[in-house]
Structure 1
Amino acid sequence: MKLIIEDKIFEQYPEVILGVAVLHNIDNKGNHPEVADLLRSAEKSALENMGNIPIVEQPFIIPWREAYRKFGAKPKDYPSSIENLLRRTFKGEQVRHINKLVDIYNVISLKYLVPVGGEDLAKIEGNVLLTFAGDNETPVVLLGEQEARPPYPNEVIYKDNQGTICRRWNWKEVDRTKLTEQTVNAFIVIEGLPPIDREKIQKAVTELVELIKKYCGGEIQTAILDKSNPQVKLL
């Protein structure tokens, strides 16, 4: 089982870079007050880093909005996951507790201003591809929704043998592969487009691993994926 960035993604987005952490034998049960404190601190840090510049004009948000437009998604209606987090934070909403892993990756997302997501490896079938949706993708139920709907053709998606895992690149994940307190094996992906570079992605991965080891334990392998190294073993 591998995570693979398909060549056609690099044709449209040649400088995309992914930081990947593969987790085994973790304990994701319960909550930890320190993780909640880290989230509050990350929210404050994100607001300070944005200053008085509107979210849509932030240099780390503009590339994602442009990427979404390339595959036909309106970023106003379908914001990237980091833009969505920042919108809520800017309104004064606290990022709500989901589980330790999700809380930790939200800390990293806000601190480094990058999209971050994760999936339960026990619920994955076959390889995971970052690719463009075809004409006849299987309808999927997204988090927080009831109705199954397919991605649009040419939309950037993550998918496995069973179907889409995340729609509109990092806009919204499916319910099927979500991280829960019962998750034991998982993978986390940190995504970057310029001006986010390899060094910043590596720093984000390093801190992600430190936090997961501290609060969830387990064994963790990491990789940086780009055009020269487009895949990593997950299982």
Structure 2
Amino acid sequence: MTNELTVDSAFWSLFPEARIGAVTVHGLNNAIVADQEQHYQDLLTEAGKAAHQFLGAETFRENPVVAEWRTAYSQFKKKKGARSSIEALLKRIDQGKQLSPINPLVDIYNSVSLTYGVPCGGENLATIEGTMHLGIAKGGEAFKPLGEDEDDPALPGEVIYYDQVGAVCRCFNWRDGERTMLTETTTDAILVVEAINADQKARQTEAVATLQARIKDAFGVDSDVAWFEAK
């Protein structure tokens, strides 16, 4: 069991059937290497093709993965337009768009997310203050969104990942923060894979195994996994 993540009891009260898989990895070299960019582009392209198994409904929101997460998001306070990270990725595929490489670790978890239809995210452990928690926001937790100039604190009742400083990621994996983002210089990371029902858990189990295998293949290092479920 990793001590890098704690899931608060308030979260289980809201989502008693959920399960969180947390993969921790140390000693990475996440630098972008020019001659590997095509490899990661190919990985994302193949994942995009695999993701079509989760599409097909005439109306995008009626695809089961999208509908399940929209229902989950209706159970807590959130910003208007907040959607699960897997919905955001599937939306791009549904619109005929292709993902481009960002950095190796992000590319790997995005490829896994699309292939298995589950939300994945990652944080730089070196920038986490204390233990990272998944829980319910009191409101006002400091948060500077990735790519934004101004702070945008968490809302009361919002599902967030947080540490001693503030929010790390808002609305499950909807919006990542600049403070803890994965970069080329990241050497130690925690990656989370989320599921909220039995069907998602089955895919989540495969997703975590694939995530660990791709990390081993890309970086030559082993990773640890911990599973969190309601007691």
Q: TM-score range by the shorter chain?
A: over 0.9
Which of 70, 74, 92 lines up with 2:96 in the alignment? 92
1:154 shift after superposition? 0.5
* Aligned residue in 2 for 1:13: 15
Structure 1 unaligned blocks of 5 or more: 229-235
Cα deviation, 1:10-59, whole Å, max 9, x if unaligned, reads 11110111111100101111242222211101101112441244331122
SS in 2 for 1:61: helix
Query: What is the identity percentage for the equivalent residue pairs of Structure 1 and Structure 2?
Result: 38
* Aligned residue in 1 for 2:166: 163
Letter in 2 for 1:65: R
Which of 109, 112, 123 lines up with 1:119 in the alignment? 123
Which of 42, 48, 72 lines up with 1:43 in the alignment? 48
1:73 shift after superposition? 3.0
Counterparts in 2 of 1:6 and 1:194: CA distance versus 1, 3 Å? same
Letter in 1 for 2:55: M
Q: How many residues align?
A: 226
* Aligned residue in 2 for 1:217: 220
SS in 1 for 2:194: strand
Contact 1:100 1:216 in 2 (8 A): no
1:148 shift after superposition? 0.5
Cα deviation, 1:128-151, whole Å, max 9, x if unaligned, reads 11111103322x210111111111
Cα deviation, 1:160-186, whole Å, max 9, x if unaligned, reads 011100011211100000001111000
Structure 2 CA distance, aligned partners of 1:225 and 1:152? 24
* Aligned residue in 2 for 1:65: 70
- Runs of 4+ residues over 6 Å off in structure 1: none
Structure 2 CA distance, aligned partners of 1:91 and 1:58? 14
* Aligned residue in 1 for 2:139: 135
Structure 2 unaligned blocks of 5 or more: none
Letter in 2 for 1:217: G
1:197 shift after superposition? 4.3
The alignment status of 1:152 with 2:148, answered yes or no, reads: no
The alignment status of 1:202 with 2:205, answered yes or no, reads: yes
Contact 2:55 2:94 in 1 (8 A): no
Contact 2:26 2:223 in 1 (8 A): yes
Structure 2 CA distance, aligned partners of 1:158 and 1:96? 26
The alignment status of 1:182 with 2:185, answered yes or no, reads: yes
Cα deviation, 1:177-201, whole Å, max 9, x if unaligned, reads 0001111000100000114343322
Contact 2:137 2:156 in 1 (8 A): yes
TM-score by length of 2: 0.92
Structure 1 CA distance, aligned partners of 2:173 and 2:212? 21
Structure 2 CA distance, aligned partners of 1:179 and 1:162? 17
Structure 1 CA distance, aligned partners of 2:85 and 2:211? 17
Counterparts in 2 of 1:194 and 1:176: CA distance versus 1, 3 Å? same
Letter in 2 for 1:22: T
Structure 2 CA distance, aligned partners of 1:147 and 1:170? 20
Point out the more displaced range, 116-125 or 217-226. 217-226
Structure 2 CA distance, aligned partners of 1:135 and 1:103? 32
Query: What does 1:216-235 align with in structure 2 at a 5 Å threshold?
Result: 216-228=219-231
